[in-house]
Structure formats: structure tokens, C-alpha cells
Amino acid sequence: GAVVSQHPSWVICKSGTSVKIECRSLDFQATTMFWYRQFPKQSLMLMATSNEGSKATYEQGVEKDKFLINHASLTLSTLTVTSAHPEDSSFYICSARRPMRGPGGYTFGSGTRLTVV
Amino acid sequence: DAKTTQPPSMDCAEGRAANLPCNHSTISGNEYVYWYRQIHSQGPQYIIHGLKNNETNEMASLIITEDRKSSTLILPHATLRDTAVYYCIVKTKGDKLIFGTGTRLQVFP
């Protein structure tokens, strides 16, 4: 149980276009989801916390107008990278907070590798 | 949240126990110790967590010192598939996960 599906697993887009990444909790409801970014050989960096039905909370230094987060239902959060540039190329990973009775509390998606050309 | 210190890399022979240390000397009383791992190009995977007592599950054991200032993750019989980056994270139960630099464990034949 406690599966998080992330789609797409990889995407290539042209500079200036926007890309949407979906994160779904398949067998549980997630009122809170998290978005991370990871550059090669680096650790995961938390970008924002996505709360169902309310605005996302962004970490310091993350541009909220560039990385649009929508958490419209208890099982879906989306991250849209707007006007993507090559420096936005990265591995994006989502995580969903499970009901507290579960072990660990957080389940991660398998990640989306974004390449902007 | 308290910060953690982990060695950047470790090696372990296949079949042997892998002992991964973590220092968290500023941990506070309501903070848990969590361990996750990330196999190359995948999302992190939960391993184990604990507060004060030692914990064991099907994947690993977690040994927390009595003063809670450090802990050790033990993989009892490492396999090649255990090669990954292991993250030790200290936080309160409802708080977000902030990843440090982790330990890159290389299991060799």
C-alpha cells in the first residue's frame, strides 16, 4: 500500500515552453504533498509544500511564479514549470504524507527527469 | 530541526553487515530519527525510524544511543541492490523532510 505515482518519468521540452508534472497518491488520501528538485550528484532540495485546497508554501529562493503548484484534490498535486530554460533541467520528485498510522509517514514518487533544450 | 552529520561514503562487502553512522548531537526530545535511501535515479525509499528505542524491521535495524546524540543504521546482510545513498534525517513527526548530503554506500562483490 501507500503508492505514489509520478508522471511523466521523463520529458524533453524546448526553452520557453511549460511542462506539467503530476503526482498522484493511488491508495490513500494526501492532504499534504511535497515537491523536491535534485541536480546531478546532489541531495534533494525541498521546493514547496502543497496543501489540498490552499496555496502552496514555497521554500526560500524558489520562484512561485515559475514553479506553479496546484493541489486540487486529495490525491493529485501538479507542478508546472513555466517558461522553462536549460537551467531548469533537473530531477523533480514528489512526496505525499501518509496517514499518521503508517510507517515513516512519507511516500515518494519515482521522479521526473526534465531536460530543457 | 536538528542537523545530522554522515560520512560521505562507505564500502561494504556483499553478505556482510553494513553499519551506517549518523551524528545528531542537537536533537531535541520530540524529534525522531528517520532513514531513507535513494537508489540511482529513483525516488527515496523509507527504511526505518525511531525515537528512543532500538528498532528493527524487515529491511534494517536502527540503534539509537542512550543520549540520542547518534544512531547507526544496520543492514545485516548487504547485497549489491543495497548500493544507494542513505539519508539520516531528524525531525518532528508532522514536519517536512529536509535531506542532508547522506552517505553513499557501495556494496561490492
Res A43: pLDDT: 93
- Per-residue pLDDT tens digits for A9-24: 999 999 999 999 999 9
Residues of chain A neighbouring B93 (CB-CB closer than 8 A): 100, 105
CB contact under 8 A, B96 and A45: no
Cβ-based contacts under 8 A for chains A and B: 50
Residues of chain B neighbouring A93 (CB-CB closer than 8 A): 43-44
CB contact under 8 A, A111 and B34: no
Q: What are phi and psi of B89, to 5 degrees?
A: -130, 135
- What is the rounded average pLDDT for all residues in chain B? 94
Please state whether beta strands B84-91 and B103-108 pair in parallel, antiparallel, or not at all (unpaired): antiparallel
Question: Cα separations (Å) of A37 from A19, A79, A100?
Answer: 15, 11, 25
Bond before A8 cis per omega within 30 degrees = yes
Q: Which residues contact A11 (CB under 8 A, 6 or more apart)?
A: A19, A21, A112, A113, A114, A115
Res B27: pLDDT: 93
Res A103: pLDDT: 54
Which residue in this structure is represented by grid cell 544496520?
B74
Number of CB atoms found within 10 A of residue A19's CB: 19
CB contact under 8 A, A106 and B46: yes
Cell numbers for B57: 524491521
Cα separation of the two ends of chain B: 38
* Max CA distance (Å), chain A: 44
Q: Which residues of chain A have pLDDT under 50?
A: none
Please answer whether residues A84 and A66 qualify as being in contact, where contact means their C-beta atoms are separated by less than 8 angstroms.
no
pLDDT in tens, chain B (109 residues): 668 999 999 999 999 999 999 999 999 988 999 999 999 889 999 999 999 999 999 999 999 999 999 999 999 999 999 999 999 999 877 788 899 999 999 999 9
